[in-house]
Structure 1
Amino acid sequence: MTAPPTRSVPALRRLLGIAVLAVGIATAIPACAPRLQPPGPLAATPMPPRLAPDLIVADDGAELPLRRWLPADDAPRAALVALHGFNDYSKAFEGLGRRLAAAGIAVYAWDQRGFGATAHRGVWAGDDRLIADLRAGLALAGASHPGLPLYVLGESMGGAVILAAWAKAALPVAGAVLVGPAVWGRETMPFWQTGPLWLAAHLVPWLPLSASGLDITPSDNIEMLRALGRDPLVIKQSRVDAVWGVVGLMDRALAAVPAFDGRSLVLWGRNDEIIPPVAARIMVSRLPDTGKRPWRLALYENGYHMLLRDLGGNRVIDDISAWIIRPDHPLPSGAERADPVAALR
């Protein structure tokens, strides 16, 4: 989903409203089904996933472009797998990767199916396929660093993939970081968005939607946003059935929150204009809280949706680094909230 060059990001919050425009067209066109991209070339004869220098090769043979940032001394203290957001790709973690690697944390990130430089770019892969790729990537990263604690981080849609995966079975990690997780499920959406979106996805699934002209500020880092607008691997227009797909994933993510019982760090920006405050409050209110909470929440008063790339992004990254290395210590930014639900009001 795309906005003007200064706002070129997955603008989930407002873009769904554009689906209303498809209804008039849809009534005159024969019905279609939302499209899912086909599996990889080895789907009929799957093989164990493998790690190549710049790729993860999935069990079905699909190639997922990989970036990694490793400590200069080749002696990491921990490893982290990072999942990007909707319409973004692995380059989103360039700043995070470099800064964490300098702190002794190895970072792995790949282009999720349908995004970046993958095949079938722009076509939704399906929740279960994204989850399977996450589990495979975690296994490969863990095998590359035996004996080290392994963490997972998800930004926006990446956080939704983590939550949905956890509902099926806890991920084999020492902890998870959710950065502005995409939990804007249908229960928090008005009918004028959910109804037209269903119609558009089932009648004109190919319809391209753009966030151009929407008054959304995803970050205060304007130069970074302009660079995203020039980046050919950042998707600028979304098929309506891909939007339908990510909304379904957000449904699953929000429903999975009560089962998210692992040690975690949840990060929000006070100025997030992508995921509505009501969705953030509902998510936090449903996180497990039986005595000693396994999760901690930090709220950055000057932060936006793209916390890791905001002008104050290094402050957020340093909190993540500190939490991984010394998980029981206070966050250096002081952004942690003792009463998370009240803080999000």
Structure 2
Amino acid sequence: MGLLVLPGGCTAPHMPNLHPTAHETALIPPTLTLDMSDGAHIPLRLYPALTPHPRGIILALHGYGDSRDAWEFAAPTFTAAGFTLAAPDIRGFGQTADRGGWSTTARIVQDAREELLWLHTHYPDIPVHVMGESMGGAIALLLAASDTPDISSTILLAPAALDIGQPWESILGGMDVLAPRWKLDGSAVPGHRVASDNLRALRRMYFDPLTLHSSTIHPLYGLTLLMQAAYKAAPKARMPLLIIFGGRDQFVLPPFTARLLRKLPPETRIDELPGAHHLLSRDRRGAAQDAVSWLMQPERFLPSGGDIAAAAWQATAQTQTFP
């Protein structure tokens, strides 16, 4: 059941209490708090460019169960190249008032639009890009497929843009009616899955006080609707767009990735990292380096060789039955 696999990868993995350090348990205050049009307050963390003048601003949207801290390990690659990351807590996550809850797909996407407007206002004449991981990738894809103006480019990291299909959607919808507060955690998913090869990053994610370690049915059903909306909107995505996915992603499984690639416009730049896992913002396989290279010199081959790997992956996928 792909749906229950996905949230297990976006929340922190089980980890024994191995004497966490002060850094691992640190609650880093937001740089600022944005006021949304409906009165909600969204904490946002800035990772400033290390150059005197940023060459670009990136609205960085995290995955399910994660927070604005998701970009701590990838940020130095972007900031050293002159990009500022603006990382909000998505409504229902991090330090937002309705932490653990869910609003609607429309409201979450509207939040991102208003965050983009704020960035354009405060960084005039600087290109603004959108980057999203997993659930954040679905939001970024919906932005790219909408009439949202002035997005210079979009980067999708292991995007959770998929349709889980029947009967699972109906089952989850029924559970949302009957038991919306029924709690699930990683133990609900059988088997052992690896979210990243970066143990240091996984420890920080696990002990970070902003990380959600469980979920109730209602936000999971909301996530299902968000993923489905992004999947259906994929053919309308505007260019330029880069999608990066890992060959060892055990949460957004290969059949879902293959279906999404077939729906995206043919001009989409495709990057496959054969050894990478789901949490590309934390993995050690070069997703951030590829993203920076593409932003700065989009016509060049990617440093990881992911262009060639993606072509081979697609050729293999064509021979498999992914309806």
Place the TM-score, normalised by the shorter chain, in its bin: 0.7 to 0.9
Q: Distance in 2 between matches of 1:180 and 1:197?
A: 23
CA change 1:142–1:90 in 2 (3 A) is same
1:176 alignment partner, one of 132, 154, 167: 154
CA change 1:54–1:11 in 2 (3 A) is closer
* Residue in structure 2 matched with residue 15 of structure 1 by the alignment: none
Q: Distance in 2 between matches of 1:119 and 1:216?
A: 31
Secondary structure of 2:110's counterpart equals helix
Q: Distance in 1 between matches of 2:148 and 2:263?
A: 17
2:88 alignment partner, one of 110, 124, 132: 110
How far has the Cα of 1:242 moved from its partner?
0.5
* Residue in structure 1 matched with residue 182 of structure 2 by the alignment: 207
Asked if the contact 2:248/2:275 (under 8 Å) is kept, the reply is yes
How far has the Cα of 1:156 moved from its partner?
0.4
* Residue in structure 2 matched with residue 305 of structure 1 by the alignment: 278
* Residue in structure 2 matched with residue 327 of structure 1 by the alignment: 298
C-alpha distance after superposition, 1:84-111 (max 9, x if no partner): 0111011001122222111111110110
- Number of residue pairs matched? 294
Secondary structure of 1:307's counterpart equals coil
How far has the Cα of 1:145 moved from its partner?
2.0
How far has the Cα of 1:8 moved from its partner?
6.9
* Residue in structure 2 matched with residue 245 of structure 1 by the alignment: 222
Secondary structure of 1:205's counterpart equals coil
> AA paired with 2:40?
A
Who wins on radius of gyration, i.e. which is larger? 1
Q: Distance in 1 between matches of 2:317 and 2:122?
A: 38
* Residue in structure 2 matched with residue 38 of structure 1 by the alignment: none
CA change 1:182–1:171 in 2 (3 A) is farther
How far has the Cα of 1:224 moved from its partner?
2.2
What are the ranges of 5 or more consecutive residues in structure 1 without an aligned counterpart?
A: 13-51
Q: Give percent identity, aligned residues only.
A: 30
Secondary structure of 1:152's counterpart equals strand
* Residue in structure 2 matched with residue 268 of structure 1 by the alignment: 245
Secondary structure of 1:265's counterpart equals strand
- Please give the root-mean-square deviation of Cα atoms over the aligned residues, in Å: 2.4
How far has the Cα of 1:134 moved from its partner?
0.6
Asked if the contact 2:247/2:277 (under 8 Å) is kept, the reply is yes
1:258 alignment partner, one of 235, 239, 243: 235
* Residue 317, structure 1, aligned to residue 295, structure 2: no
| Structure-2-length-normalised TM-score | 0.84
| Structure-1-length-normalised TM-score | 0.79
* Residue in structure 1 matched with residue 138 of structure 2 by the alignment: 160
Consecutive aligned runs of 4 or more in structure 1 exceeding 6 Å deviation = none
How far has the Cα of 1:2 moved from its partner?
10
How far has the Cα of 1:327 moved from its partner?
1.6
Asked if the contact 2:11/2:214 (under 8 Å) is kept, the reply is no
